[in-house]
Amino acid sequence: MTGAVTWRVRPAEPRAVVLVLHGGQVESTAPARAWHLAVVRMHGFVRSVARETAGNEVAVGLLRYRYRGWNGDRAHAAADVRAALDAVAAAHGPVPVVLVGHSMGGRAALRAAGHPSVTGVVALAPWCPPEDPCEQLAGRRLVALHGDRDRVTDPAQTRSLAARARAAGASVAAIEVTGASHGMLQRSADWHRAAARLAAALLDLRELPEPVARAMALGGADPGGLRLPLPTFEQWPPIRAGVGPE
């Protein structure tokens, strides 16, 4: 048994895929249900990504894990993401995939980013324990967003992992969402818009805002660009109509 993907958009021959990943608990082997808040919370992100990528043959789906918990070394959520990525590759070939994950879903996205299909990750208030590896992020593009009022997952640990990922060879930027806590209820429209536009940018459907692009161009031990303010509406370049990943 593996997790289940509910597809909001699924072209017959997608040119790219965005998988949205929900949060969960530290320990639980209870089944993840469609009505759980952690799952329901991500529907707005699925809709936003679908709107942002419309007309570009991008499949957009929400993965629901087998279990509610991460469950220690078993890392069930990450295993479910890898299984979903394998299924996408088997069905559609080597199309690029961007993972958008919240909390435990952010941890699962980061852990599964070494899969050959994954080209980018948008991590929303991710759970980033200091012992987690980041070598699998080499060659990937990562943008992490974290609210400065989060008391569930630690924004400082997100910045630390971002720095380690950059040193390991990832292209990285980290954004601070001022006034926002873990549930992303404060400034929810900003969270949705930013996640969708970042996912589109990581698929080369639009350009990144200049501060984010500059941060992602940094390498090695450079500490810049790991506490950027959320881009304003005016900073987002327009969508590239009719253009998609090759």
Task: Please tell me the predicted confidence (pLDDT) of residue 246.
Answer: 40
Q: Across the chain, how many H-helices and E-strands are there?
A: 7, 8
**pLDDT tens for each residue of 158-179:** 999 999 999 999 999 999 999 9
Is the model more confident about 113 or about 236?
113
pLDDT at residue 243 above 80?
no
Tell the CATH topology of 4-235.
Rossmann fold (3.40.50)
CB-count exposure of residue 2 (10 Å: 0-12, 13-18, 19+)? middle
What's the average model confidence in pLDDT over 40-53? 97
d(CA 243, CA 56) in angstroms, rounded, equals 7
Identify the pLDDT of residue 241. Answer: 58
Domain boundaries, the chain: 4-235
Task: Return the pLDDT at 195.
Answer: 98
Return the pLDDT at 233: 81
Contacts of 92 (CB under 8 A, 6+ apart): 13, 14, 17, 59
Q: How confident is the model at residue 134 (pLDDT cuts 50, 70, 90)?
A: very high
pLDDT at res. 1: 67
d(CA 91, CA 74): 26
Tell me, rounded to whole angstroms, the distance of Cα 191 from its chain centroid: 12
Averaged pLDDT, 218-237:
92
| Confidence class for position 245, pLDDT limits 50, 70, 90 | very low
Residue 81 host element (H or E): helix 76-92
pTM above 0.75, yes or no: yes
Q: What is the mean pLDDT of the chain?
A: 95
Name residues whose C-beta falls within 8 Å of residue 242's C-beta, 6 or more positions apart in sequence: 55, 56
